[in-house]
Structure 1
Amino acid sequence: MKFIMVAIGSHGDVYPFLGIGAVLKKRGHTVTVLANSYFENATNQAGLDFYSIGSADEYLDMIGKSGEPDMRRAICDYLFIRPMKPVFDYCASHYIKGETVAVCNISSLGTRLANEKFGLPMISINLTPMMFMSSYDPPLFSIQEYPVWVPRWAFSIAIYTAHRVFDRDLCPSLNRLRKEIGLPPQRRVLGWMLSPYKVIGLFPEWFAKPQPDWPAQVELTGFPLFDEGHMHNSVLSPELEQFLSGGDAPIVITPGTTNYKYSSFFEKAVEATSKLGVRAILVSKFQEQIPRNLPAHVRFFEYLPFSNLLSRTSAVVHHGGIGTLAQILKAGIPQLIAPWGIDQFDNGARIKALGLGGVISSKRCTAKSLADAIYVLMNSPEVHERCKEISCKINASDPIHDTCRIIEAFGKTVST
């Protein structure tokens, strides 16, 4: 089979597709990844063919909007609108009936248009439970959890409103292209954009139980757990090895790959580690947000493969991205989530409810409240026991291969 894999987003959106694509290629299939040019090198390292959808400058510009009032529009533009026509054009020119299947993230409107126009078989990949927008298990969009007395109909209204916001943002651009390619207007986006055949959720059922209002074609596998450590068997640097071997297991503090406005939080976190007397590793793509003159018990690194590192650490303070969260669960250590947007509040609430960690406000926390929260998690036998239990579950599973089996089975149905 020939697989077109559309992976528009940040590291946490793209890397799962690289992991899935690498396994599909090993099984004898042809795989081409459509992603932003920023990820061309990573795609090549995974041994996959690459086709550029957007420039690296566009990706960096989107990152630059994080935390700003127009962040939602910038993300919609980057994830949904700009890739729409180039993805459609690529699919239209490379689709061979009976041989080609598209596997895409759920924001890929161009793939869905090719499916509707030409019958291109497609599978949608959903990385996070929030995007199923269930009124039975409503997604959380802030640090504040919902009161238990809120009725389900209230969540249904809120979700309906969220859908209409997406329609307002996306339908004008979508319908201009639909008119150009000879399709009638589409009034609703979020339900329509999913594959009508198969949607794979890359998270386990114990993390988010399927709900009655999820699409019927959803099938869950598990966290893909793929990062740069898997692509070239990277070893930890001598500097990091020396630090890890020089004392107790440190905690890791990271805001993810797209947040460059974490300076204040890093300052508080470093002070918190001093209060606790624990060692720490700061990880960020943006060195300018790291405090100067770090104390001897703290080290900074621009990037580290968590698949290789986390088993040698004691806890992680992070933004709540689903990829980071999953690597921590695999390592079997506590996590404190300081979310700043998108799916991170919802992910944090799930981790807290499962007894695997805690949540703290990234904006309103102090060095003392951070230190207190870290101390509670690191000294909780219940949290440590629960983390070990979930780690065993994850290490006993093989979600990428399970996902590939579903994709191959679907491919066989369209090739006959």
Structure 2
Amino acid sequence: MHFILATIGSAGDLFPFLWIGRALRERGNRVDFLGPEQHAHYVKAAGLTFHGLPADMAVLDHPDLWHATRGLAVVWEATRPAMAQLPRVVEALAREQPNARRVLLVHPLALPEADLCRHACPGLKVAAAWLAPANLPTVHDPLLLGPWPVPAWVPHGARRWLWRALAAYSLDPVALPGLNKARAQRGLPRVASMIDFIPFVPDLSLALFPDWFAAPQPDWPQPLYQAGFPLHDPAPNAAPSAALRAFLDGGKPPVVFTPGTGNRQARGYFEAAAQAVAELGLRAVFLTPHAEQLPATLGPHVCWQEYVPLRSLLPHVAALVHHGGIGTTAEALRAGTPQLVVPLAHDQFDNAARVVAMGGGASLHAARVTPARMARALQGVVGNTQLAAQSAGLAMRFAGQGGVDGLCARLETLA
């Protein structure tokens, strides 16, 4: 069988696809991997055939990238040059083995182009990997529209209207003109609403999070297979640096701060964190590959690292302060580490709300971060014995989490 995997975005978007791609290859399937050019080393290290797609790195500095409502449109526009290449590459791969049973597994933002591929390649099946619950529109509770929770008393009809209104305001004006132009060139009908179109493109949806984190909803697309978290790390056993080892051994467990590897706009976040830990007498590890956003001077109570596998770091820390990306959230849950989630945009608000509801941590909206608020939030997390016990209990749920084999078998059945 032939599987083509296509994704966009940061390493956090890439790793779940690597988790699946490696497993499919180990089961004897052919796997071709399409992704942003800057991630080539990750894909090649996993032993997969890589096809690079153009990547707009300037988007990382766009002022609206992390905006609660405008951020999705920014991501959409930045990824269109790469997605425009998807039909051409998929059609070329299909010509190499015209009689193969073939599945195209894509990031949800690639589904419009995946639909074009399906019409161009007879027999091609399309699957979508939904990385976080918030990516799947629903009218059922718990429901957040960006950072705003929708009260339980709001009827389903009004919730559907709210979803469509949000899409009509934030995404449709940016996405529909180009999409409908591409569809018209192929003789396909126009799309009126992205939120009514995207979830129903795939022949199979994969929800890459367990049901104890987000139970399936009646209006999620079908057929749907729900798996556990795709906890992939390219170097899970990488030894910590000598500086980090010495720091961890030199005092009480620190608090780890990370705004996400793709965030180059976190200067205020790190300044607030530095002032907060100094005020509280805490030690801290700052994780970011973008050193220019750190305070000019870091005291001896702060250790900066470009990257450390969370799997190896979290067992040695007091708490994790992070942006609420689904991969980071899952790693903290698995480690039983208390969390302070500081969401900015996209699925992060929903992930934060779920962590709080499960008793795994607290949340502070990134737009409200100040040194004083950061300090108050940390006081409620660090050293909180009840929160630590609840976090440890959540980690036990991973013992029964299904592996990737069931997911691969479902994809093979689709093929």
TM-score normalised over the length of structure 1? 0.91
Superposition deviation, residue 148 in structure 1: 4.5
In 2 relative to 1, CA 91–190 (structure 1 residues): closer, same or farther, beyond 3 Å? farther
| Matches for 1:360-371 after TM superposition, within 5 Å | 360-371=364-375
Distance 2:114 2:299 in 1: 50
Distance 1:182 1:3 in 2: 27
Distance 1:337 1:141 in 2: 17
Superposition deviation, residue 66 in structure 1: 4.9
8 Å CA contact retained: 1:202, 1:221: yes
Q: Structure 2: where are the runs of 5+ without partners?
A: none
The superposition leaves residues 94-136 of structure 1 with CA deviations (integer Å, 9 ceiling, x where unpaired) of 2234432111111112222112343411211000111211111
> Residue in 1 aligned with 2:362?
358
Distance 2:211 2:391 in 1: 17
Superposition deviation, residue 187 in structure 1: 2.5
8 Å CA contact retained: 1:265, 1:363: no
In 2 relative to 1, CA 192–142 (structure 1 residues): closer, same or farther, beyond 3 Å? closer
Superposition deviation, residue 44 in structure 1: 0.9
Distance 1:32 1:265 in 2: 38
Segment of structure 1 superposing worse, 217-226 or 152-161 = 152-161
Equivalent residue letter for 1:171: L
Distance 2:44 2:335 in 1: 27
Superposition deviation, residue 192 in structure 1: 3.0
> Residue in 2 aligned with 1:113?
116
3-state SS, counterpart of residue 31 of structure 2 = strand
Q: How many pairs are equivalent? A: 405
> Residue in 2 aligned with 1:174?
179
Match of 1:65 among 62, 66, 71: 62
Distance 2:367 2:193 in 1: 35
Distance 1:360 1:141 in 2: 17
> Residue in 2 aligned with 1:94?
93
| Matches for 1:24-43 after TM superposition, within 5 Å | 24-43=24-43
8 Å CA contact retained: 2:146, 2:346: no
TM-score normalised over the length of structure 2? 0.92
The superposition leaves residues 203-238 of structure 1 with CA deviations (integer Å, 9 ceiling, x where unpaired) of 1111111112111212211210112224xx422122
In 2 relative to 1, CA 311–404 (structure 1 residues): closer, same or farther, beyond 3 Å? farther
> Residue in 2 aligned with 1:303?
307
Equivalent residue letter for 1:352: V
3-state SS, counterpart of residue 144 of structure 2 = coil
Aligned-residue Cα RMSD (Å) equals: 2.0
Q: Is residue 221 from structure 1 mapped to residue 227 from structure 2 by the alignment?
A: yes
Distance 2:202 2:323 in 1: 32
8 Å CA contact retained: 2:141, 2:152: no
8 Å CA contact retained: 1:33, 1:50: yes
3-state SS, counterpart of residue 225 of structure 2 = strand
3-state SS, counterpart of residue 192 of structure 1 = helix
In 2 relative to 1, CA 189–142 (structure 1 residues): closer, same or farther, beyond 3 Å? closer
Match of 1:274 among 263, 273, 278: 278
Distance 2:289 2:265 in 1: 11
In 2 relative to 1, CA 190–150 (structure 1 residues): closer, same or farther, beyond 3 Å? closer
Superposition deviation, residue 141 in structure 1: 4.1
8 Å CA contact retained: 1:229, 1:306: no
Equivalent residue letter for 2:58: D
Segment of structure 1 superposing worse, 82-91 or 28-37 = 82-91
Distance 2:120 2:193 in 1: 17
Distance 1:385 1:410 in 2: 42
Segment of structure 1 superposing worse, 221-230 or 30-39 = 221-230
Distance 2:347 2:403 in 1: 21
| Matches for 1:106-145 after TM superposition, within 5 Å | 106-108=108-110, 109-119=112-122, 120-137=124-141, 139-145=143-149
Q: Is residue 241 from structure 1 mapped to residue 245 from structure 2 by the alignment?
A: yes
| Matches for 1:290-329 after TM superposition, within 5 Å | 290-329=294-333
8 Å CA contact retained: 2:318, 2:383: no
8 Å CA contact retained: 1:257, 1:285: yes
> Residue in 2 aligned with 1:83?
82
Distance 1:387 1:83 in 2: 39
> Residue in 1 aligned with 2:211?
205
> Residue in 2 aligned with 1:12?
12
Superposition deviation, residue 149 in structure 1: 4.1
Distance 1:255 1:333 in 2: 17
8 Å CA contact retained: 1:34, 1:53: yes
Q: Structure 1: where are the runs of 5+ without partners?
A: 412-416
The superposition leaves residues 174-214 of structure 1 with CA deviations (integer Å, 9 ceiling, x where unpaired) of 12112223323232333433444210010111111111211
8 Å CA contact retained: 1:83, 1:110: no
8 Å CA contact retained: 1:66, 1:259: no
Distance 1:355 1:154 in 2: 30
8 Å CA contact retained: 1:199, 1:219: yes
The superposition leaves residues 256-278 of structure 1 with CA deviations (integer Å, 9 ceiling, x where unpaired) of 02221111121111111122222
Equivalent residue letter for 1:74: V
